[in-house]
């Protein structure tokens, strides 16, 4: 009989919570190669740098390999790919000489089913879905009023206010949300492809006769085993065993890995936002080109006007909405995504300062300034390590537990999910 029975199909929320807690506290011993990615900032491992800036791997830092036991190509950050090939060789050699059970379906010859997932493709699909919902559902009653791109873009802010922070808009907020995943980092490999909500399957995997060998092999190759999905391994960037692989590419530290192999998502935020609004408005103009504006006069006579929405070309669009416009717009959205921690006057001040930086330096300096205002907020949000430290201190001092929280669920997922997530 299985010891761990948690699965999302459980009807009782209380039972499910109990089952999840049982797995969390009793499954897998506390070993340095076991990584819990459901606690505090660990949720964002590989998706943020050491300063909590959301990041994604550069495409020229990725490497596609064919693992020793699989015909499925596997894409990972270059030095992680090299480390995984070594891990595959360790298992292959052990299987050849009979050191490990040769009948294990997953831990005999490693046959990975998933590596890097392109975050740009995922985000673009996500934001297109958001724009579709906005165009087809949210503005149904206002569609005839949105006769130009400016009105459309401003109305989108109303949409963001209603949807945030649960549904992020910027690439930065998206990468920190549940819509993204560990696999966008290029640091993780799924060896089994099993459903992550089923604790019994996790138990079966852990009970493999090859599991201890698996743990030791991962440790010696620079990988952690993800506690909540033990068939998923992720590169341990602080592991001494990984040094030989990343130094081969001239990378001597974690910070250097993040600065060379990864890029901050903020560098793409405004470009994505500008492109999305352009595409969204023109889709609206094409699909709802003519709207009827019906008015009732004093004599109860109806006056019906046909309103024509015209497409806007890219030259007109860029001339009308310059970088100064987008800096202010972006700043407003970032504030909404963080549950509006700053007042209107503060947000306006940030926009003014960003515009000055743009004029004096460049766009990236201005965007970096805006990002810093909000990074300082989410570093101390509930669910983060700083929150738990403060709570622990408060309890020791017999003071009240910190109670500050966002107006609604943060876009940063906190630990203890019931969906068995990474």
Residue 11 is predicted with a pLDDT of 64
Does residue 272 share a domain with residue 241?
A: no
In a domain, 406, yes or no: no
- pLDDT-derived band at 2 (thresholds 50, 70, 90) equals confident
When pLDDT is averaged across residues 379-383 and rounded to a whole number, the result is 56
pLDDT tens, residue by residue, 113-145: 999 999 999 999 999 999 999 999 999 888 888
Does residue 279 share a domain with residue 140?
A: yes
For the chain, what is the mean pLDDT? 86
Does residue 86 share a domain with residue 211?
A: yes
Reply yes or no on whether the pLDDT at 18 is more than 90.
no
- pLDDT-derived band at 376 (thresholds 50, 70, 90) equals confident
Residues of the chain with pLDDT > 70, as a percent, come to 82
Does residue 139 share a domain with residue 279?
A: yes
Contact partners, residue 303, CB within 8 Å, separation at least 6: 294, 295, 296, 297
Of 57-71, 189-203, 264-278, the range with the lowest mean pLDDT is: 57-71
Cβ-defined contacts of 342-346 (< 8 Å, 24+): 342/373
pLDDT tens, residue by residue, 276-331: 999 999 999 988 765 555 566 666 665 555 566 788 999 999 999 999 999 999 99
Tell which of 195, 224, 252 closes a domain. 252
In a domain, 189, yes or no: yes
Contact partners, residue 133, CB within 8 Å, separation at least 6: none
- pLDDT-derived band at 226 (thresholds 50, 70, 90) equals very high
Instruction: Give Cα 249 to chain centroid, integer Å.
Output: 26
Does residue 194 share a domain with residue 132?
A: no
Reply yes or no on whether the pLDDT at 402 is more than 70.
no
Residues of the chain with pLDDT > 90, as a percent, come to 68
In a domain, 389, yes or no: no
Residue 25 is predicted with a pLDDT of 82
- The answer to whether residues 415 and 383 touch, using CB atoms and an 8 Å cutoff, is yes
Residue 70 is predicted with a pLDDT of 63
Q: The domain that contains 213 carries what CATH number?
A: 3.30.1380
- The answer to whether residues 235 and 86 touch, using CB atoms and an 8 Å cutoff, is no
Does residue 103 share a domain with residue 230?
A: yes
Residue 409 is predicted with a pLDDT of 35
In a domain, 421, yes or no: no
If one counts every other C-beta atom within 10 angstroms of the C-beta of residue 193, the result is 13
| 378/68: higher pLDDT | 378
- The answer to whether residues 178 and 126 touch, using CB atoms and an 8 Å cutoff, is no
Does residue 311 share a domain with residue 173?
A: yes
- pLDDT-derived band at 334 (thresholds 50, 70, 90) equals very high
In a domain, 309, yes or no: yes
Of the candidates 181, 204, 227, which has an alpha carbon nearest to the alpha carbon of residue 33? 227
In a domain, 405, yes or no: no
- What residues make up the domain containing 163? 119-179+266-378
- pLDDT-derived band at 398 (thresholds 50, 70, 90) equals low
Phi-psi category of residue 257: left, alpha or beta, with phi > 0 → left and psi -120 to 50 → alpha: alpha
Phi, psi of 217 (to 5 degrees): -65, -40
When pLDDT is averaged across residues 237-244 and rounded to a whole number, the result is 96
pLDDT tens, residue by residue, 98-108: 999 999 999 99
Q: Strand pairing partners for 295?
A: 303
- pLDDT-derived band at 164 (thresholds 50, 70, 90) equals confident
Tell which of 190, 224, 252 closes a domain. 252
When pLDDT is averaged across residues 328-349 and rounded to a whole number, the result is 96
Beta strand pairing call for 232-235 and 290-296: unpaired
In a domain, 384, yes or no: no
Of the candidates 168, 137, 166, 134, which has an alpha carbon nearest to the alpha carbon of residue 153? 134
Sign of the torsion angle spanned by Cα atoms 97, 99, 101, 104: negative
Of the candidates 57, 41, 175, 36, which has an alpha carbon nearest to the alpha carbon of residue 115? 57
Domain count, the chain: 2
Does residue 61 share a domain with residue 165?
A: no
Residue 417 is predicted with a pLDDT of 32
Exposure letters 339-364 (e unless 16+ CB within 10 A, then b): bbbbeeeebeebbebbbebbeeeebe
Enter the pTM of the model. Answer: 0.85
Reply yes or no on whether the pLDDT at 385 is more than 90.
no
Dmax over CA atoms of the chain, in Å, equals: 96
Tell which of 211, 230, 252 closes a domain. 252
Does residue 272 share a domain with residue 290?
A: yes
In a domain, 404, yes or no: no
Does residue 288 share a domain with residue 166?
A: yes
Does residue 294 share a domain with residue 167?
A: yes
If one counts every other C-beta atom within 10 angstroms of the C-beta of residue 270, the result is 21
Instruction: Give Cα 41 to chain centroid, integer Å.
Output: 12
Does residue 107 share a domain with residue 150?
A: no
């Amino acid at each position: 009989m299985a010891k761990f029975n948690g699965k999302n199909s459980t009807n009782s929320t209380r039972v499910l919570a109990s089952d999840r807690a049982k797995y969390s506290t009793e499954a897998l011993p506390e070993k340095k190669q076991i990584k819990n990615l459901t606690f505090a900032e660990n949720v964002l491992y590989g998706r943020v740098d050491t300063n909590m800036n959301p990041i994604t791997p550069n495409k020229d830092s990725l490497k596609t390999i064919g693992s020793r036991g699989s015909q499925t190509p596997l894409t990972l950050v270059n030095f992680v790919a090299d480390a995984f090939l070594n891990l595959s060789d360790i298992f292959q050699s052990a299987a050849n000489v009979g050191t490990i059970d040769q009948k294990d379906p997953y831990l005999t010859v490693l046959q990975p089913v998933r590596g890097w997932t392109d975050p740009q493709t995922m985000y673009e699909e996500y934001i297109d879905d958001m724009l579709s919902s906005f165009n087809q559902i949210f503005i149904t009653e206002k569609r005839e009023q949105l006769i130009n791109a400016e009105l459309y873009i401003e109305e989108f802010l109303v949409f963001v206010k209603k949807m945030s922070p649960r549904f992020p808009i910027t690439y930065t907020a998206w990468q920190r949300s549940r819509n993204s995943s560990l696999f966008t980092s290029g640091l993780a490999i799924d060896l089994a492809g099993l459903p992550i909500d089923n604790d019994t399957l996790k138990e079966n995997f852990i009970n493999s006769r090859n599991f201890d060998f698996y743990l030791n092999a991962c440790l010696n190759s620079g990988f952690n085993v993800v506690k909540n999905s033990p068939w998923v391994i992720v590169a341990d960037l602080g592991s001494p065993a990984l040094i030989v692989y990343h130094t081969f590419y001239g990378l001597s530290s974690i910070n250097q890995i993040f600065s060379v192999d990864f890029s901050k998502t903020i560098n793409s935020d405004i470009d994505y936002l500008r492109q999305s609004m352009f595409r969204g408005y023109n889709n609206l103009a094409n699909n709802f080109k003519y709207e009827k504006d019906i008015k009732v006069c004093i004599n109860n006579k109806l006056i019906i006007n046909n309103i024509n929405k015209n497409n806007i070309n890219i030259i007109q669009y860029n001339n009308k909405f310059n970088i100064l416009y987008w800096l202010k717009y972006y700043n407003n959205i970032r504030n909404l995504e963080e549950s509006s921690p700053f007042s209107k006057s503060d947000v306006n001040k940030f926009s003014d300062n960003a515009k000055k930086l743009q004029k004096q330096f460049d766009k990236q300096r201005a965007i970096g300034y805006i990002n810093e205002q909000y990074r300082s907020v989410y570093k101390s949000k509930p669910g983060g390590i700083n929150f738990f430290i403060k709570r622990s201190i408060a309890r020791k001092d017999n003071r009240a537990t910190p109670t500050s929280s966002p107006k609604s669920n943060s876009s940063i997922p906190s630990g203890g999910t019931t969906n068995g997530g990474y």
